[in-house]
Structure 1
Amino acid sequence: MPFVSIIIVNWNAKNYLKGCIDSLLSQSFTDQEIILVDNASSDDSVDFVKKNYPQVKIIQNTENVGFAEGNNIGIKNSSGKIVALFNPDAVAEKDWLHILVNVVQDKPNIAAVTGKMYYLGDKYGKDAVFCTWSKIDHLSANPTNFHDDEPVSKVDYLSGAAMLVRRDVLDKIGLMDKDYFLYFEETDLCARMIRAGYDLMYIPSAIVWHAVSPLSNSENKVYYMERSRIRFALKNFDSLYAISFLFIFLGETFFIIFRDIKNRNFSRTKTRLRAIMWNLSNFKNTLRARRKHLSILAKNGTVQSYNKNLPLRSVKTK
């Protein structure tokens, strides 16, 4: 069985760390290391882990470098043939790691895997499902999570809250793109896996419980989601699909503006314009990143269409 490195990127999540780390140390699959990458927390997270979990390797950043770069730092300082990305506010059932390792090991066509994710706590009802299948609309780049009893399947992307990735795949496609900072980082990584011809698998028997982010439904979440969505489409969509995306996004923007004029509340318009301005000022950087990653893929193998090879492309959302 391969050695697994579990990377936890933490920022002020001390209240969740006990449940998270206890669940990982209690896994039936024990050939693992846990690496906590702390993004300059101010809630004594590091001291708590040092005192209670001396077996956990800790990397302290002097600033909040974001989720993507935090994971990159952890991956570079890990040794496992399989890398698990795991959120500090998540709790894994005992066989979670064993199930996913069995799926991904020695299967060269499978790059990464994830399991079924429930909400941690009863805020949304008992045993409410957070995510099963994850789909990207091939025209608008809007993400959708399914929430029912979806079976084992290839999917469009995997949640970075709890996923396993083969290191040899990362060696071929590159690490996470740090310029997203928040949201779409794992979707970008999965897009490169699909372009490289790999499969991403959803396995419902591997179960994780995940707390709702403090950013949920906030203006900041909307801003980062829209900012990252634009960058994702420009960077990863096939050229003609990227043009289609821009027309769709423009239409959405006009709708938001007209609605805000009618309601005399321009907060949503301001948020979208902020996201657009960020992408305009970083447009050259996005194009450079696109060329860089496509070049890496071409050097290590074939580069196939992203939009035409999305596994859930034809699956209708509710």
Structure 2
Amino acid sequence: MKLAVVILNWNGILLLEKFLPSVVQYSPEATIYVADNASTDDSISYIKVFFPSIKIVKNDSNLGFASGYNEALKHIDAEIYALVNSDIEVTENWLQPILKTFENEPKTAIIQPKILDYKRKEYFEYAGAAGGFIDQYGYPYCRGRIFDTLEKDTRQYEDNCEIFWASGACFFIRSSVYKTLHGFDDDFFAHQEEIDLCWRAFNKGYKIKYNSGSVVYHVGGATLQQGHPMKTYLNFRNSLLMLTKNLPKEKLYTILLGRMILDGIAGIQFLTQGKFKHFWAILKAHGAFYTLFSITYKKRSNFQNAKYYNTKSIVYFYFIKKISVFNDLFGIK
């Protein structure tokens, strides 16, 4: 299958120097592209000198994750897109298990590998771990990561199972499906756009899978650190936009109300912790959501699958029941 590995870059020369060698070394099956969001550092000249085989697609401005990929992929011809963060270290034979699944399973549209922490390689990494899910209120969590609790990799997730969302840090998708779904939502800019895309794929009857045979290591937070107020703003705003687009109509307003109440509780918690910038980020996120609501509502498709979640409230299980390991949610030993 014709595979394109596409790395989105913005002023990331230090990351390219560190991680491009592994991608080039272990990706003989793929054509490698760097999609550049109008970098002002020496990223492009570095690639041209040290990795002349890599193809470069230049965007005219910093379009963020969603629009950056949408624009760049218009110029890339492939059957499979592998969208890979610039802070990912890949491993030997990371592509073969993914390609085999695509070849053998026509209904599988999106796949993610096992994502481990580059800094603590025996642990799962926050952004994806062993595959993503959401609860009834749209809170994302993973096999291997619930909120800020990361599990050690003891080979407890050595399977190729169906999941609800795949991590944007290392995201494989059939180009035909990407085009059918019109790619990422430009209004998201960054954060949770991959969950929204997976949800739309799920509503169309496609499968999203995790493949443990492929392993990558992710730094995480290299572009925008986990504790940054901008990340808080984007996560809270985009989650509400995603719910508006994809929830079943009969549940839309009750779930949105419940989620906004929970957001308010989170805001109060930020206040009590003295994190005033994060409290303000939630207020701004809700204000932006109100502004975008009517536009977002018009993006709803004709069908929304009611069976989108496998846990009613991950907030309840994590903060009240003190369950922080994915398999413990279902009594799996």
For the aligned pair, the TM-score class normalised by the smaller chain equals 0.7 to 0.9
Residue 231 of structure 1 and its aligned partner are, at CA, apart by 0.7
The code of the aligned residue for 1:153 comes to: C
1:182 corresponds in structure 2 to 190
Query: 1:87-142 deviations in whole A, cap 9, x for unaligned?
Result: 11101111111110111124211111111011112xxx4422111121111x2111
Residue 23 of structure 1 and its aligned partner are, at CA, apart by 1.8
Q: Give the secondary structure class of the aligned counterpart of 2:78.
A: coil
Instruction: Tell me: CA distance 1:127–1:86, structure 2 relative to 1, closer, same or farther (3 Å).
Output: same
Instruction: Tell me: CA distance 1:213–1:259, structure 2 relative to 1, closer, same or farther (3 Å).
Output: closer
Residue 261 of structure 1 and its aligned partner are, at CA, apart by 6.4
2:166 corresponds in structure 1 to 158
2:28 corresponds in structure 1 to 30
Instruction: Tell me: CA distance 1:309–1:234, structure 2 relative to 1, closer, same or farther (3 Å).
Output: closer
2:13 corresponds in structure 1 to 14
Q: Give the secondary structure class of the aligned counterpart of 1:165.
A: strand
Q: Distance in 2 between matches of 1:283 and 1:127?
A: 42
Q: Give the secondary structure class of the aligned counterpart of 2:299.
A: helix
Instruction: Tell me: CA distance 1:20–1:256, structure 2 relative to 1, closer, same or farther (3 Å).
Output: closer
Instruction: Tell me: CA distance 1:155–1:263, structure 2 relative to 1, closer, same or farther (3 Å).
Output: closer
Paired residue for 2:142, among 127, 145, 159?
145
Q: Distance in 2 between matches of 1:254 and 1:80?
A: 44
2:203 corresponds in structure 1 to 195
2:262 corresponds in structure 1 to 252
8 A contact 2:267–2:282 mirrored in 1: no
Structure 1 stretches of at least 4 aligned residues deviating more than 3 Å after TM superposition: 256-268, 312-317
Residue 13 of structure 1 and its aligned partner are, at CA, apart by 1.6
Could you tell me the TM-score, scaled by structure 2's length? Answer: 0.83
Q: Distance in 1 between matches of 2:266 and 2:215?
A: 38
Q: Give the secondary structure class of the aligned counterpart of 2:95.
A: helix
Q: Distance in 2 between matches of 1:265 and 1:76?
A: 41
Q: Give the secondary structure class of the aligned counterpart of 1:207.
A: strand
Could you tell me the TM-score, scaled by structure 1's length? Answer: 0.87
Residue 262 of structure 1 and its aligned partner are, at CA, apart by 5.7
8 A contact 1:104–1:110 mirrored in 2: yes
Q: Give the secondary structure class of the aligned counterpart of 1:78.
A: coil
Of 79-88 and 169-178, the range deviating more from structure 2: 169-178
Paired residue for 1:78, among 71, 76, 79?
76
Q: 1:179-258, aligned counterparts within 5 Å?
A: 179-214=187-222, 215-256=225-266, 258=268
Query: 1:138-178 deviations in whole A, cap 9, x for unaligned?
Result: x2111112225223210010001112111222233221111
Q: 1:287 aligned to 2:284?
A: no
Q: 1:112 aligned to 2:110?
A: yes
Backbone CA RMSD of aligned residues: 2.2
For structure 1, list consecutive stretches of 5 or more residues without a partner in the other structure: none
2:279 corresponds in structure 1 to 269
The code of the aligned residue for 1:13 comes to: G
Query: 1:200-259 deviations in whole A, cap 9, x for unaligned?
Result: 111112000111214212211111111111111111111233223222123224424555
Residue 313 of structure 1 and its aligned partner are, at CA, apart by 4.7
Q: Give the secondary structure class of the aligned counterpart of 1:197.
A: coil
Matched residues, number: 300
For structure 2, list consecutive stretches of 5 or more residues without a partner in the other structure: 145-152, 318-322, 325-333
Query: 1:32-83 deviations in whole A, cap 9, x for unaligned?
Result: 2111111122221111111111111112223110101111122211111111
Q: Distance in 2 between matches of 1:265 and 1:171?
A: 41
Q: Distance in 2 between matches of 1:31 and 1:195?
A: 31
The code of the aligned residue for 1:47 comes to: S
Instruction: Tell me: CA distance 1:76–1:248, structure 2 relative to 1, closer, same or farther (3 Å).
Output: same
8 A contact 1:136–1:144 mirrored in 2: yes
